[in-house]
Amino acid sequence: MLTAGFIRHVRLAPDADTGRYPFTLPVVRSLVGEELELDPGVTFLVGDNGAGKSTLVEALAVAAGFNAEGGSRSFRFATRATESSLGDDLIVQWGLRKPRNGFFLRAESFYNVASEIERLDVVDAYGGRSLHEKSHGEAFLALVTHRFGPNGLYLLDEPEAALSPRGCLALIARIAELVEQGSQFVIATHSPIVLAVPGARILQIDADGAIERVEYDEAEPVAMTRGFLADPNRFLRHLVG
């Protein structure tokens, strides 16, 4: 049964040095004096490349105590430190409940996480088989199936990167199941399929950094994909002459 989420909202510290990257991103500037409210179940962040949605998810993960490259709170490896300092200046408003589980899935560094899982010798918690011995998509689904559990806080950055359409549907089913078991998700995505999680809050970031809550049909990945599939030639005439 869905209960109150772990994180209620986040905001930027009033003394943050906003004159440097990533504080110069419009979406980060929009957090000055404002709170970003999260859904107790699922919050999606959508927007074009460069809008800052992945930056926000990474910063939220760091502020919540997760390893910047991904993994659980107990992971402390660093292959190459590329994360921004935004996480140090985010103030997280926690609810009354505390998560019993949690994971930060960052698609671009998942290979490094899989290597760390082998180094720690905790493969059994991820399905009993090395994630390196699975396809990228199979490894993602093994993670959410075997490692994610009830009452967990899960931050996902573009989880669809490795998934087929069928895999995206399997991800939806697992997310919905875990939300019913008291988990909370914050997900940055471009996928119109993944966005279809029932009851999710969709926050769309525009080019000026404004964050607006939209319905599923209004979300840019959904509207653009539908428009293209309805008449591909209309798009292709402009793209390839």
Q: What is the CATH number of the domain that holds 13?
A: 3.40.50.300
- Could you give the 3-state DSSP secondary structure of residue 28? helix
Identify whether 1 is part of a domain: no
Predicted pLDDT of residue 152: 96
Distance CA 159, CA 24 (A): 26
Identify whether 155 is part of a domain: yes
Question: Quick one: pLDDT band at residue 124, thresholds 50, 70, 90?
Answer: low
Identify whether 87 is part of a domain: yes
* Count of helices and strands (H, E) across the chain: 7, 9
Range of the domain at 126: 7-240
Q: Which residues pair with 7 in a beta bridge?
A: 94
Predicted pLDDT of residue 191: 97
Quick check: 78 pLDDT over 90?
A: no
The number of folded domains in the chain is 1
Handedness of CA 202, 212, 189, 112 (dihedral sign): negative
Range of weakest confidence among 51-55, 129-133, 166-170, 205-209 = 129-133
Distance CA 241, CA 42 (A): 41
Question: Quick one: pLDDT band at residue 112, thresholds 50, 70, 90?
Answer: low
Dump strand ranges (E) for 3-151. 7-12, 35-37, 42-46, 90-94, 101-106
Question: Quick one: pLDDT band at residue 95, thresholds 50, 70, 90?
Answer: very high
For the whole prediction, is pTM greater than 0.75?
A: yes
Identify whether 28 is part of a domain: yes
Distance CA 36, CA 204 (A): 12
